[in-house]
């Protein structure tokens, strides 16, 4: 018998002066028009994809179910189970209040960042799907309407030999010509054969030249047919990142992503302001509060929040609005299943400064089978007009690819 996470003792959650439940806030007025709906249960199922995705379902007394997704990894299902009692009996239409309610209730368990925020994000996405179905409107409408009918997708690309510039260029051409994408991303934190120490974050000149050769090969091969970004995964020192970014200025780099670790904003600002190579950051910074300094101090050229990780759909909308004050575009990081990918696309449709949404599963043949609808077509996501997120889980495929030992959540 496993742990019952709903019964964990936490004085902060059991008593808080900023209690935002409907009962405490006095949100009891009848709403009418089919909007008097109560949450009855919250469940999760983890999928063994190229990442372990946590799908979330919220059930109601009206028989309407909302589906969402939290960023991948351990801990999110247990935290979502922990929060379920705080949601039961609540009206799912109060998305903003319920999200803040969970942040407050979980403050003692770290709701300023990390997996606690990720778990709340998965619930928040499910609430948007659920509210859209109750109100019979697509999710983007809950975010203020749309700027565009379709959202551009950039494809995160890989090869068997990621350190070989020619192999990378060959794959770039294949993805553009055969798969129809006009936006790509490749990794630059790959072994060059010139490393002396993998721990000190320092790049020697031969390493920088090797990375420049990858960038040169890819960008020259695809030319104007596609924009190409390059990811460093928080690997390098400030000085090395500056030298690398400077070396890449002669190439048509869409952006250089996460060249330094995310904790020190001062170093991030110095790197960004030292080069004309566009710098992108944001997937490992939580909520709008975490993104604030990046934007206010002009420490980033493009902001890259991961929607089901940093706070959810409304929180990403708030980050985008903050970015717009500094005329910074938004390129959403995304390594999710079709559920959160479509949710990110709804956000991308609703914000003016959307640049693109990532797709990280082009090598996973059954990714698209998780939902009944087509999601990506010719490098773009067409925004559905159906209520909620506009995607329907194929439970047979979900069950087939569940993490070992996982249980399938109830049907809608």
Query: Span 26-30, mean pLDDT?
Result: 90
Specify the fold of 143-386.
Answer: TIM Barrel (3.20.20)
What is the rounded CA–CA span in Å between residue 347 and residue 404?
A: 32
SS3 (DSSP) at 161? coil
Residues contacting residue 157 through CB under 8 Å, at least 6 positions apart = 168, 171, 172, 175, 184, 185, 186, 362
Running DSSP on this structure, what letter comes out for residue 372?
A: S
How long, in residues, is the chain?
Answer: 412
- b/e code 213-248 from CB counts within 10 Å (16+ = b): bbbebbbebbeeebbbbbbbebbbbbbbbbbbbebb
SS3 (DSSP) at 222? helix
What is the rounded CA–CA span in Å between residue 127 and residue 56?
A: 10
What is the rounded CA–CA span in Å between residue 394 and residue 404?
A: 18
Query: Span 32-54, mean pLDDT?
Result: 96
Instruction: Grade residue 1 by pLDDT with cuts at 50, 70 and 90.
Output: low
Cα-Cα-Cα-Cα dihedral sign, residues 319, 320, 325, 329: positive
The domain ranges of the chain are 11-137, 143-386
Question: For the chain, what is the mean pLDDT?
Answer: 96
pLDDT of 138 above 70: yes
Tokens representing residue 20 in the block? 């935002």
Provide CATH code, domain 11-137.
3.30.390.10
| Confidence (pLDDT) at 153 | 98
What is the rounded CA–CA span in Å between residue 237 and residue 120?
A: 32
Widest CA span of the chain, in angstroms? Answer: 69
Render pLDDT for 253-301 as a digit per residue (tens, 0 to 9).
999 999 999 999 999 999 999 999 999 999 999 999 999 999 999 999 9
SS3 (DSSP) at 398? helix
SS3 (DSSP) at 363? coil
Q: How many CA atoms lie within 13 A of 212 on its CB side?
A: 18
Query: Span 150-154, mean pLDDT?
Result: 98
| Confidence (pLDDT) at 10 | 75
pLDDT of 6 above 90: no
- Residue from 170, 141, 162, 149 nearest 313 by CA: 141
Q: How many CA atoms lie within 13 A of 292 on its CB side?
A: 4
Instruction: Grade residue 312 by pLDDT with cuts at 50, 70 and 90.
Output: very high
Bridge partner list, 371: 393
Tokens representing residue 110 in the block? 């770290």
What is the rounded CA–CA span in Å between residue 231 and residue 212?
A: 13
Q: If you search the block for the tokens 């209730």, which residue do you land on?
A: 105
pLDDT of 206 above 70: yes
pLDDT of 397 above 90: yes
Q: In this structure, how many other beta carbons lie within 10 angstroms of the beta carbon of residue 174?
A: 12
């Amino acid at each position: 018998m496993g742990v019952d996470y709903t019964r964990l003792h936490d004085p902060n959650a059991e008593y808080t002066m900023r209690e935002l439940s409907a009962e405490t806030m006095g949100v009891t007025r009848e709403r009418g028009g089919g909007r008097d709906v109560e949450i009855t249960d919250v469940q999760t199922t983890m999928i063994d994809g190229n990442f372990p995705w946590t799908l979330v379902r919220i059930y109601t007394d009206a028989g309407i179910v909302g589906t969402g997704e939290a960023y991948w990894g351990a801990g999110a299902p247990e935290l979502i189970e922990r929060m379920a009692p705080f949601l039961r009996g609540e009206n799912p239409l109060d998305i903003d209040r319920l999200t803040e309610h969970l942040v407050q209730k979980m403050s003692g368990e770290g709701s300023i960042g990390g997996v606690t925020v990720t778990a709340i994000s998965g619930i928040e996405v499910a609430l948007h799907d659920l509210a859209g179905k109750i109100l019979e409107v697509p999710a983007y409408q809950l975010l203020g309407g749309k700027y565009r009918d379709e959202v551009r997708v950039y494809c995160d690309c890989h090869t068997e030999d990621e350190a070989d510039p020619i192999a990378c260029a060959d794959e770039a051409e294949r993805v553009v010509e055969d798969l129809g994408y006009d936006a790509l991303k490749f990794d630059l934190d790959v072994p060059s054969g010139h490393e002396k120490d993998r721990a000190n974050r320092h790049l020697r000149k031969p390493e920088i030249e090797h990375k420049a050769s990858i960038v040169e090969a890819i960008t020259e091969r695809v030319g104007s047919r596609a924009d190409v970004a390059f990811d460093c995964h928080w690997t390098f020192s400030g000085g090395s990142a500056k030298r690398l970014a400077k070396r890449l200025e002669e190439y048509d780099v869409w952006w250089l992503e996460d060249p330094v670790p995310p904790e020190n904003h001062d170093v991030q600002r110095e790197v960004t302001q030292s080069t004309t190579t566009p710098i992108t950051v944001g997937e490992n910074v939580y909520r709008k509060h975490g993104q604030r300094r990046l934007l206010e101090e002009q420490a980033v050229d493009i902001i890259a929040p991961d929607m089901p990780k940093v706070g959810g759909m409304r929180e990403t909308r708030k980050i985008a609005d903050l970015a717009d004050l500094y005329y910074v575009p938004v390129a959403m990081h995304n390594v999710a299943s079709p559920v959160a990918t479509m949710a990110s696309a709804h956000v991308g449709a609703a914000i003016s400064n959307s640049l693109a949404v990532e797709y990280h599963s082009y090598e996973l043949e059954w990714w698209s089978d998780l939902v009944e609808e087509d999601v990506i077509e010719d490098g773009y996501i067409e925004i559905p007009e159906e209520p909620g997120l506009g995607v329907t889980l194929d439970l047979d495929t979900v069950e087939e690819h569940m993490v070992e030992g996982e249980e399938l959540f109830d049907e809608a």
